[in-house]
Amino acid sequence: MIDADILDASILIVDDQEANVRLLEEILRQTGYRHVTSTMSPQAVCDLHRANHYDLILLDLQMPVMDGFQVMACLKEIETTGYAPILVITAQPGHKQRALASGARDFVAKPFDLIELKTRIRNMLEVRLLYKQLAAQNAALAALALHDVLTGLPNRRLLMDRLSLAIAHARRNQRTMAVMFLDLDGFKQINDTRGHDAGDMLLRLFADRLVATVRQEDTVARLGGDEFVIALHEAIDVEQVAKLVSKVISAVSKPYRIQGADVHMTVSVGVSVYPMHGQDEETLMKSADLALYEAKQAGKNDYRISAYADL
């Protein structure tokens, strides 16, 4: 843990005695902590923590109206699955066990030893910041499990979840939704002639154009290679879907600037519409895939809407 991370931590001092607050503020600032806040109102602590998510709360126990134990009970409701960053500083050493059982992570008795106080503050901040780093890493791993590494788009797993939700929405509201299965025409030739770096750049640019062309509520996903799927959250009718497909084909067929040269690509698209071509995600995907095959067979750079009723 580098010192800069520790000294950038956010700290809240909670004490109803102004002299105690000023003393702790001075100690922390002399040590080098840059983000120190204080309050003499215990009733304000939980709202402050909800708004600021402090890395450390230095909490007195004996305060009027709302004591430190009541404050900890409120803070535990906020940090239900996390690490409650509470260091109790009190003139009541007999309450140590109760304070720790109530949610405090450490305890310092007044009058405190300055070196001990600084050490306990630093130790708690190290644990708090390590906990935050671990939570961020876990979130990143969870995102990787649901997204394509190259383009950042949802992968098949997340796509199927989104499709399920879109179908449920359409069923509940007696509306239609659609699936577009897209495949770049001649993508292998790009990899063979310009290299995989150029191919990866093309896929990223292609993905960006797809996202920019559809609505925010629609889902653009990459299944792998040069296969992409768009789940249209809601559509009025097949004619509206056809217009959007034509718009997508036009947008992605414009030249791509890669390695200093213009690269021209076309795309073939297969479309299925709920509920005519399927009433679940697997059937709609299969119908759109079959329609994509027909578009490829017809000469590419075109689309086909599924000719099949619910398979």
Active site (catalytic) residues? 226
SS3 state of residue 93: helix
Q: In whole angstroms, what is the distance from residue 219 CA to residue 284 CA?
A: 15
**Would you state the structure tokens that stand for residue 91, as one six-digit string?**
């003139």
DSSP string, 106-164: EEEESSPPHHHHHHHHHHHHHHHHHHHHHHHHHHHHHHHHHB-TTT--B-HHHHHHHHH
> What residue type is 3 in one-letter code?
D
Q: 83 — alpha (psi -120 to 50), left (phi > 0) or beta?
A: beta
Close Cβ partners of 179 (under 8 Å, ≥ 6 residues apart): 163, 229, 230, 231, 232, 271, 272, 273, 274, 284, 285, 287, 288
32-68 burial code (b ≥16 CB/10 A, e <16): ebeebebbeebeebbebbeeeebbbbbbbbebeebbb
SS3 state of residue 267: strand
**Would you state the structure tokens that stand for residue 249, as one six-digit string?**
């084909």
Q: In whole angstroms, what is the distance from residue 245 CA to residue 262 CA?
A: 24
